[in-house]
Amino acid sequence: MKKLVLAVSLFLLTNVIYAQRGPRKYYEEINVLFENLDDGAILVRLKTDSIKIAALEQRNQTYRRALEGIDENSKNFKKKKEDIERRKRLITKIKTNRNKYNQSVVDAFQSFSFCNIYFFYATDSRKILNQVFEGNLLDKNLNISDSLPNLNNNYLIAEFGATTKDTTTIMMHKGELSSFPGNPNKYIERDSDGKIYYKYYEYSSTSMEGGVDALVLFSPDFVQLQAPYPHYVRTFENLLFLERNKSKTVLRLQYKIEQYKAAPWIYWLDPSF
């Protein structure tokens, strides 16, 4: 019985250590990335609300087609016409709020000085994933950037949102490319047999909690970083006395990156530093 308990304990301990350390290649890549990040960039993803807007516009198109052949003086016609106008006002409101939100994100990063900052819209995530930067990266004025350095995988992705489960344990699933859903944790590659495949990162359920409102860092493959690296800064949204505004959150992120660069061993001892 004691041997069984010992064997089970060793098995669990091995899995915990693996979950914390993860694949060696992953750590090698992230180590190099942080070593050279001051000469690289952080690419900040901005929201578009494109799915929500497209759904409302599609609904309006359906209603417009339904109006054809209906008496303009009927209650049904007037009701559908009112619904169309209501959705148009809602779309305008969504776009206005989205633009204000994106501008607040851009303004917050004006104080970030550790490395170059570029922005991109969520609808261009696939292009950024495939490193098609020209015409898709924006400057602080949200204009297409004219001067793009050779990033060469020397960059991180940042986004105000919520954390997911810890991604330390990365499992690769490979399949022939018949369809390529919009999952940001998939990427395309050509294998030795000449066929095009996609690979999929599967999240593990390790130590990092999910659903935390934060400014989150991702690798160039859009895989969320995790301890011991600087990987997110909590915004404490909806917590009245603790809530951080975006500018303070960005400064906190810079502080964490600078501290990690100065003394990375501290993060290995205490990832919450």
Q: Are 114 and 38 in contact (CB under 8 A)?
A: yes
Residue 13 above 70 pLDDT? no
The phi, psi pair for 125, rounded to 5°, reads: -60, -40
Residue 169 above 80 pLDDT? no
Residue 208 above 90 pLDDT? no
What percent of the chain clears pLDDT 90, i.e. is strictly above it?
40
Give CA angle at 119 (113, 120), nearest 5°: 165
Residue 233 host element (H or E)? strand 232-234
| Per-residue pLDDT, 75 | 85
Nearest to 26 by CA among 215, 201, 209: 201
Please give the Cα distance from 96 to 273 (Å, whole number): 38
| Per-residue pLDDT, 19 | 42
Q: Which of 4-8, 70-74, 86-90, 162-166 shows the highest mean pLDDT?
A: 86-90
For the record, the structure tokens of 54 come out as: 């497209």
Helix intervals (H) in 22-140: 24-35, 50-67, 75-108, 125-129
Task: Name the least confident of 95-104, 133-142, 194-203.
Answer: 194-203
Nearest to 159 by CA among 222, 97, 228, 211: 222
| Per-residue pLDDT, 195 | 54
| Per-residue pLDDT, 209 | 56
The per-residue pLDDT for range 84-136, each reduced to its tens digit, is: 999 999 999 999 999 999 999 999 999 999 999 999 999 999 999 999 999 99
Task: Compare 142 and 243 and report the one with higher pLDDT.
Answer: 142
Task: Name the least confident of 84-93, 218-227, 228-237, 260-269.
Answer: 260-269
How confident is residue 206, by pLDDT bands cut at 50, 70 and 90?
Answer: very low
